[in-house]
Amino acid sequence: MMQPKVNMVHLHRQEGEMSDQMIEATTSPAQIVQQAAEKYLGISNAPGCCIAVYDEKSFGTKGYVYPKGLSGVAGSSPAPFSVTTDTVFEIGSVTKVFTSTLLAVAVKAGGPSLDDAIGPYLNLFSASAVGTPVLDAIQLVQFATHTSGMPEQPGDGLTGYSEQLFADEPPSSELINWWNQYDTPPQGCWQYSNIGFVTLGFAVTQMFAKDKGRNYNEILAEYVTGPLGMKQTGAFVNSSWKIAQGCIGHWSKSSEPPYPIVFDRNTPTGGTAFDLKTTGDDMIKFLAAQIAAPKGPLGSQIALTQQNRGTFPICGEKTSVTMGLAWQITTDTQGHTVFTKNGATSRGGFEAIVIVVPELKCGVAVLSNQYFDASGVHPAGIAPGRTALEIISQLHPGFELTEPLPEHDPFD
């Protein structure tokens, strides 16, 4: 599951890494998670993190949430506090799984088919037709699997294009104008696309009766987060909540082995991304629902998002990606199906990842209030994905992915 023009984190084990160390029989599952959090903060220099682990073998059906570190950079204002299980973090592109779940809810309710064209839903945003014949013919499933042909970012000065979606407002005139000039048909290959998923998100808001086109948070709460009991997940945050502050991490790497990491500073961003926010407490409920599919809350809808939609060659590359709806699908060396989705916000300064292995009844979500951009190769262990994989491999010895884990892609 490689992603073009981004860095890759491998699970190949190296001498001295935690994943290769012998775990004493007295080490409890909770200690494994605690040690992983401590190691992650030590390597990444992130202010804080919160790790949610659902593993029925280790923790029963309640799961385990472990917060570690501070809500912001030490010395920043407002004064940081110790991270708690209900501290709110931004999740960046993990938002896409929530959008695809809303799409699945609409499909299962007898609304659109995944093979339907997007045109009829975009046209509802204006008295006159929106889009072009090329755009209007692209299928909903192609947006949900990054095979629509849309670029990663729209370019041409179109920024903040997701702001209206998550603010429950109609698309901006600039975004509609971009749609009205769109002329790139699907190429039959995989191209990760933030603008494509925002376009899908706007279409999804037209599939539900309530205040069509201005209802992302409303329908998310009614049809997804509400039924799952996720009380602090959405684009809007309450000022009474414990809200983490993000930061940008800076580091340098020498040109000679052993490549020591030198951190210059962590800088608070002072910004907020246009995405969803959540907590460790809420992510436990999300993980449990993913593992329970097709039974449990939203069982058939979540099962639809996990259904294999095909393996697609990456545009311009020799590798390929297997997709569900927003989920990237891989396997471990024992043949278990693994669902992954990660995200980052350069504006907000956060990183997150979710990894689910239903056959092991195990899932891990790591939330972090630090962002490293993809301008250089990330040192091993600095991304939250490595931490999540190490936790799973220690709770389930022998677990190892058969291919690299994709790095984050910023989504603001």
What are the pLDDT digits (tens) for 11-30?
Answer: 333 333 444 444 445 789 99
* pLDDT number for residue 211: 82
CB burial string 188-201: b at 16+ within 10 A, e below: ebbbbbbbbbbbbb
* pLDDT number for residue 343: 93
Q: Using 50, 70 and 90 to split pLDDT, how confident is the model at 213?
A: confident
Q: Which residue has the tokens 């959540």?
A: 278
**Least confident among 12-26, 149-163, 237-251, 322-336:** 12-26
Residue 399 in this model has a pLDDT that exceeds 70: yes
- With beta carbons less than 8 A apart as the criterion, state whether 243 and 198 touch: no
160 vs 50: CA distance, rounded Å = 28
Q: Using 50, 70 and 90 to split pLDDT, how confident is the model at 382?
A: confident
To the question of pTM greater than 0.95 for the whole model, the response is no
* pLDDT number for residue 358: 98
Residue length of the chain? 412
* pLDDT number for residue 6: 35
Which residue, 358, 277, 305, is CA-closest to 101?
Answer: 305
Residue 214 in this model has a pLDDT that exceeds 50: yes
What are the pLDDT digits (tens) for 286-339?
Answer: 999 999 999 989 999 999 999 999 999 999 999 999 999 999 999 999 999 999
- With beta carbons less than 8 A apart as the criterion, state whether 250 and 267 touch: yes
Average of pLDDT values for 145-155? 94
* pLDDT number for residue 60: 96
Q: Could you give the percent of the chain with pLDDT greater than 90?
A: 75
Q: Using 50, 70 and 90 to split pLDDT, how confident is the model at 129?
A: confident
- Domains, the chain, with CATH or none: 8-88+239-406 (3.40.710), 96-223 (3.40.710.10)
219 vs 226: CA distance, rounded Å = 9
Average of pLDDT values for 114-121? 97
